Amino acid sequence: MKKITKKDLAALLRFIGENEALYIPGRVSGQTNYVRYNENTDVDLDTLKTVKSAKEVFFPQSETLYTVKTEDGKYRISQEELQNEEFVLFGVKACDMKGIEVLDKVFLSEPVDTFYKARREKGTIVTMACGEPEESCFCKVFGIDCAEPQGDVTLWNFGNEYFWKANTEKGEALTEKCSSFLKDGDEATVDAIKNAIRTVVEKLPYMNLSLEGWDGTKTEEKFNSPVWEELYKPCLACGTCTFVCPTCQCYDIKDYNTGKGVQRYRCWDSCMYSDFTMMAHGNNRTSQLQRYRQRFMHKLVYFPANNDGMYSCVGCGRCVDKCPASTNIVKVIKAFQKEGK
Amino acid sequence: MKELLQDGTVNRVLGWKKGDLPYNPEPAFFKSAEELDEFIYDGFCGANLSKYMIAASALEGKTLVLLKPCDSYSFVQLMKEHRVDREKAYIIGVGCKGKLDIERIKAEGVKGIESISGAEIDGDCSTLKIGTIYGEKEVAYKDAMLERCHVCKGKEHRIYDELMLESADTLDSGRFEAVEAIENMTPEQKFAFFKNELSKCIRCNACRNVCPACSCRKCVFDSTKFDSAQKANVDEFEEKMFHIIRAFHVAGRCTDCGECSRVCPQGIPLHLFNRKFIKDINEYYGEYQAGNNVEDETPLTDFTFDDLEPGERR
């Protein structure tokens, strides 16, 4: 167990940032998101939740896959290079870390997504325990302990210091590199911090949400339930919930006409959008009820059915905070409970 | 409302349903007196229900809809554009004492919220007492209000069948102050301001989907044949282009209801684009408020010999 004073953190970040790319929560025009660090970055480790999750560091909202150019009447195809520089992702909360594990299930299973895999291999993740969880948090419902996030290094915020613990080889390597900034810390203090966080977690309103009935079975029963008919109605069909979600992983592949060729890129897609999974024959989901149902069925039924019971919701509560119509996954779970479905 | 439902005057009520947190009521259709037990109307019912009336106009029978004074401008504008059916609506104009922005409350450092009192519509709406797992907090109601309420268009409903509840004066800022501040910037400052703000855009389309003026059956940005996708910005230019095109498209029809800024997950002050257009229209064609009434000639579709020529300024 190591520790660093908050006063020294700026120097540490500068040090890491000088040697490799560093992604960290930073404030731009009043909002905190993961940004690539430079000396002007307004680092913000106090805001509990970045608007967008840490997933975009491994799975960007939009990325070019390859470019086709016409030269002298011939086509020249050039593939985008895979991530080849080491980087550090700093300040990830337990829910977002679990979100990355969910994405691993999707992108690292065959056929492996090489773009994602390269980023995962080159990235060292520094996580941070949650000091003051908020009312929209429900990570514990999915078995996540926000007092002890995983990742290569874990930090605990306490008074004027951050406690620092390496969990993996990559974490040990980063700790070694940063050793001149770190002092020895004691386990006992960290145990006390963890207990304090867990005591707070028990008081949160959503922590006792029951997932009974959402075990990847009863697919048809859930799918055909009349409960959806009312639930979807406030939904504006925007993509906010999907784009702030740490686990939503659907993407679209499109061609951008550059005038002299084509840029083939992929971008996050949202099952809330009318052209989601549009195919030559048309669209297999034609109403907002169907699109709304898809999102929750995927997270709570299809994904666990195909991934040994792992839900593709991590209880970060971003959709609870951000839905313009205040509808969200918690309300869906509760509505089914109420109807006894 | 229960009586109107029970005697068959209306088939449903479009209002707000209690949330599961103290601040997250959702727009909802109520079909029975029993369902109405979950109805709520308080300071957190900011959602403008006018746009839901497009869908409700296609349903059988009348929908009782609750409209705040500012929402009623949107309804009139939608009537003018033949997107809602007046005959299918039973409008209760509800009073408003300013609507609250949970983001502003959280920006005061309030977290772990368990209860909020002082947001009730029949109260004096002066102080919010907030119970949190980290202790009691107080926030002045005024400091927690949405931006749009500080530039309130007034307590009068533009259309209604019945009126309920008192409104309060919340206007305490100039409507065009923020626009003027941007107008006074240098071109470089303006560019930097919008670049920073719009770089946050995640193309969730919440601003478009909530906007009562964005009522096209199919949006050009949803077309699969359009080079510019609705879900990703290929480059920095596109993230600006989407919002600028949208602002142009709603110019002259935007009532300045402020829903775009309320719903933006990244806190982009989108209303500033629209308000710039409103200010320009007022200066070039005379004072005009979209949604004021169904009869007014609209400045951008009406021609007079006094109109400015391209490039001309007043």
A48 neighbourhood in chain B, CB within 8 Å: 111
pLDDT recorded at residue B311: 80
Rounded to whole angstroms, how far apart are CA atoms B306 and B284?
10
A244-262 pLDDT, tens digit per residue, is: 999 999 999 988 888 889 9
Give a yes or no: residue A242 inside a domain.
Answer: yes
| pLDDT, average across residues B188-201 | 92
Q: Does any domain span residue A60?
A: yes
- Give the separation between CA A239 and CA A318, rounded to whole angstroms: 13
Which stretches does DSSP call E strand in A213-296?
251-257, 261-268
Give the model's pLDDT for residue A339: 75
Domain that holds residue A170: 2-203
What pLDDT is attached to residue A114? 97
Across the range A41-68, mean pLDDT stands at: 96
Closest-CA distance of chain A to residue B105, Å: 13
In a domain, A212, yes or no: no
Question: Could you tell me where the DSSP H helices lie in B136-186?
Answer: 147-150, 177-183
Identity of the residue in B112, B227, B265 whose CB atom sits nearest the CB atom of A240? B265
Q: Do A268 and B232 touch (CB under 8 A)?
A: yes
- Confidence class for position A131, pLDDT limits 50, 70, 90: confident
Residues A291 and A259 in one domain: yes
Is the CB of B262 less than 8 angstroms away from the CB of A324? Answer: yes
Query: Domain for residue A234, yes or no?
Result: yes
Asked if residue A341 has pLDDT above 60, the reply is: no
CA angle B135, B140, B142 (to 5 degrees): 145
Residues A189 and A311 occupy one common structural domain = no
Kindly tell me the sign of the dihedral angle through the C-alpha atoms of B4, B10, B11, B14.
negative
Q: Which residue of B has its CA nearest to A137?
A: B112
A223, A273: one domain: yes
* Min Cα separation A137/chain B (Å): 9
Of the listed ranges A255-269, B45-59, B87-101, the least confidently predicted one is A255-269
Which residues of chain B lie closer than 8 angstroms to A203, CB-CB?
A: 112, 133
Same domain, A254 and A328: yes
Q: Edge-to-edge strand order for the sheet containing B63-67? A: B26-30, B12-17, B63-67, B89-94, B162-164
CB–CB contact A238 B263 (8 Å): yes
Q: Which of B58, B68, B61, B60 is nearest to B27 (CA)?
A: B68
A213 occurs within a structural domain: no
A253 falls within a domain: yes
Q: Which of A148, A172, A203 represents a domain boundary (last residue)?
A: A203
Nearest to B28 among A61, A234, A269 (CB): A234
| Statement to judge: residues A192 and A237 lie in one domain | no
What pLDDT, in 10s, does the model give residues A318-327? 999 999 999 9
What is the residue extent of each domain of chain B? 1-172, 174-314
pLDDT by residue (tens digit) across A91-101? 999 999 999 99
Whole-angstrom Cα distance, residue A259 to residue A69? 9
Q: Does residue A211 lie in a domain region?
A: no
pTM > 0.90:
yes
Number of neighbours of residue B18 by Cβ within 10 angstroms: 15
| Chain A residue with minimum CA distance to B206 | A238
Same domain, A266 and A297: yes
> Could you tell me if A243 and A196 lie in one domain?
no
pLDDT tens by residue, A206-241: 988 999 989 878 899 999 999 999 999 999 999 999
pLDDT at position B228: 63
Is the separation of the CB atoms in A53 and A127 below 8 Å? no
Q: Please tell me whether residues A195 and A261 are part of one structural domain.
A: no
- Judge: B232–A136 Cβ closer than 8 Å, yes or no: no
pLDDT tens-digit readout, B142-179: 999 999 999 999 999 999 999 999 999 999 999 999 99
Our CA-based measurement puts residue B261 at a distance from the nearest CA of chain A, in whole angstroms, of 10
Same domain, yes or no: A23 and A83 = yes
Count of domains forming chain A: 2
Cβ pair A234:B265 closer than 8 A: no
The mean pLDDT value for B69-78 works out to 98
A-to-B residue pairs, Cβ atoms closer than 8 angstroms: 138
ipTM value, please give it.
0.93
Query: Strand (E) positions, chain A?
Result: 2-5, 21-28, 31-36, 62-71, 74-79, 87-92, 123-128, 153-158, 161-166, 183-184, 251-257, 261-268
